Chains A and B, each alone.
Chain A
Amino acid sequence: MASAGGQGNSVSRWWGRRMRSDNARGYALLSPTFFSVLLMMALPLIAVFVLSFWTQKGFKIDTAFTTANYETFLNYSEKPIYLTLTLRSLEMSLTATIVVLLLAFPMAYFLAFRVTKRKVLWLILITVPFWTSYLLRVFSWKLILGYDGVINTGLKSLGLIDEPLTFLLYNKLAVTITLAHSWVAFAVLPIYVSLEKIDRSLLEAAADLGDSPFRRFWRVTFPLALPGLISAGLLVFIPTVGDYVTPSLVGGTDGIMIGSIIQTLFGKVNNAPLGAATSVMMMTIVTLLVCLFLGGVQVLKKLSARV
């Protein structure tokens, strides 16, 4: 009896070790990726945070702790540029995001509910243009919207205008159009996936319970597509807030965004600590907005799921 018990014990101990070593193997496999992200993302972000509390003195960095950079950023009365540009960036990204979602949703809906054959072909058709250089795509909007651009020459040859329209390029409108064009394909995919996942019998059930096609859309399709819409929205909003390439090419002075300021602070102006503080503020504001938005969505969901 005693020996049998001992044997059982050693077996269970052997199993325990095995289980542990199994998990350890999983962590070991993950570690190269994990540490590379830690090293190349987390550490540098901490460095930026630390730098934002230092100051630039000529070509040297003064490492004494100070919140002066943040005070500069928040000082609207004397240096309104930081807050103004942050707000303008948020506004422009938000506009672009909404435009993108409005453009992408019907396309995703068409793909998910109307295309029965050759879905892959349609998906490829949508993604192919985005294999071309981002910069060249932005540039070609200059060709379309510019003084001698497609629209102006086209309208002139039709005799609709005498003088080229100048409000097309180098302003917020141009930035919004260009951003929308750059990101719209990325937004189609997540929306398409969430629409495609909707069990068709749910729509039949809604019809069966008395909903017209319009009602069905708002009560079943739309709420179930919401996760896709939200991830598409975040996928567009977050990167575009920090964009400075698009504004610098088609935005003119009117379309400058906060990313341009960060870039100049690290470049020409050579005030890295202030640039770091601006970056930290931008990240914080974006994160807060995203959290607020997601929280709001959760609350709305909870409310609408009840009777």
Chain B
Amino acid sequence: MRMRGLPLFVYAILFLVFIYVPVLLLPLFSLNDGQYVAFPIKALTFKWYGEMFDASQLQRALMNSVKVGIAVAIVSTLFGMLASLSFTRYKLRAKTALNGFILLPLVIPSIILGIALLVILRQFLDASLSLWTVGAAHVLICTPFAMLVLIARLEGFDRSLEEASLDLGENRFMTFFRVTLPLALPGVVSSVLISFTTSFDEFVLAFFLSSSEPTLPLYIYGQLRFPQKLPQVLALGSCIIAVSFILIAFAEWYRRRGLATTPAKA
């Protein structure tokens, strides 16, 4: 039994090496004391981390991305929640078709979505581009994710809990806040996290739909072509990895806590 599992285990380790090595090169080079990001590594330094804090353009791009990300996370989760409530709590006639329609942005290449939005904004509406247009496009691709996560969560709990609340005299609106939302909270948290990270890392839509205000991926893309400031970008990338790890650890801790305690106690 043990021996039979061994080749697969070795494969799994190699798989992890394959997906981790490119990612872990970034922190390595962020510590390299050399203007050009290439081998051989010269000496270790933290100076790029220091310069990162002085780079105003980088900070501006970072702030733009955070702003857009937060707005997108909130709006997508809201849209996702409304849609998942209507799909799980009501018997809608064209349920499959409507569900598929909302999921459609997931299976359309983002370059198509990007140029489509660009076309309607520029050629038909003559509107100007801004962070708002980037945010709107991000909501379009984050809502399906949010909906999928929330549907899974809302289907997972006992409908009779909501019926009990209605039976005890609470109206639908308050039932949502007192029963449904607390129980769906882990789903809401992961929906917010997924939407935020998707928006934060999105490049193609932002490329077509942003104005002079760049988001972080746009800034990084620019630096990839003009490599003088690249080490700072790598320092920032390393920080993002670190923050991601912390966020994931937090999410996992939260999930476990959610499993251990009954939501009724909240």
Contact = CB atoms under 8 A, between A and B. Distances in A.
**Does A touch B (CB under 8 Å) in the complex?**
yes
A279 B112 contact: yes
B25 A150 contact: yes
B18 A181 contact: yes
B140 A36 contact: yes
Contact of B237 (A26, A36, A133): A133
B104 A114 contact: no
25 contacts: A25-B90, A30-B82, A37-B140, A41-B104, A41-B113, A44-B117, A48-B112, A51-B119, A107-B12, A114-B5, A122-B12, A124-B248, A132-B23, A132-B237, A132-B240, A132-B241, A132-B244, A148-B38, A149-B38, A150-B25, A153-B40, A235-B107, A242-B111, A272-B123, A279-B115
Given A103-B15, A134-B201, A134-B203, A140 B26 contact: yes
Interface in B91-136: 91-93, 98, 101-102, 104-105, 107-113, 115-120, 123-124, 136
A158 to B, nearest CB: 14
Q: Which of B119, B147, B247 has the most CB of A within 10 A?
A: B119
Contacts of A109: 8
Contacts of B120: 43-44, 47
Interface in A8-28: 22-23, 25-27
A26 B203 contact: no
A132 B217 CA distance: 11
Given A23-B92, A30-B87, A135-B221, A129 B109 contact: no
A234 B86 CA distance: 27
Nearest to A157: B40
A150 B39 contact: yes
B145 to A, nearest CB: 12
Contact of A40 (B12, B38, B40, B137): B137
Interface string B235-251: 00100110011011000
B16 interface: yes
A128 B80 CA distance: 24
A144 B18 CA distance: 12
Contacts of A33: 79-80, 82-83, 102, 143, 147
A103 B245 CA distance: 25
Interface in A233-248: 234-235, 238-239, 241-245
- Name which of B21, B79, B115 has the most chain A CB atoms within 10 A of its CB: B115
| B: interface residue count bin | 35 or more
B70 interface: no
A84 to B, nearest CB: 18
A125 interface: yes
Nearest to B202: A134
Nearest to A43: B120
A111 B25 CA distance: 26
B29 interface: yes
A107 B22 contact: no
A239 B252 contact: no
B217 A134 contact: yes
Nearest to A130: B19
A125 B13 CA distance: 11
B68 interface: no
B195 to A, nearest CB: 13
A239 B110 contact: yes
Nearest to A135: B220
A36 B22 contact: no
A143 B224 CA distance: 12
Given A29-B85, A120-B252, A131-B241, A143 B29 contact: yes
Contacts of A286: 109
Interface stretch (A219-227, A259-267, A294-302): A259-267
A120 B249 CA distance: 12
A146 interface: yes
Contacts of A26: 86, 89-92
Given A132-B244, A140-B22, A153-B39, A44 B109 contact: no
Contacts of A124: 248, 252
A133 B217 contact: yes
A51 B123 CA distance: 9
A144 B22 CA distance: 8
A45 B113 CA distance: 8
A239 B225 CA distance: 24
A107 B86 contact: no
Contacts of B234: 136
Contact of A242 (B11, B110, B221): B110
B165 interface: no
A169 interface: no
Contacts of A47: 116, 119-120, 123-124
Contacts of B237: 132-133, 136
Contact of B244 (A131, A146, A148): A131
B208 interface: yes
A177 to B, nearest CB: 10
A184 interface: yes
A243 B109 contact: yes
A241 B108 CA distance: 10
A133 B12 CA distance: 24
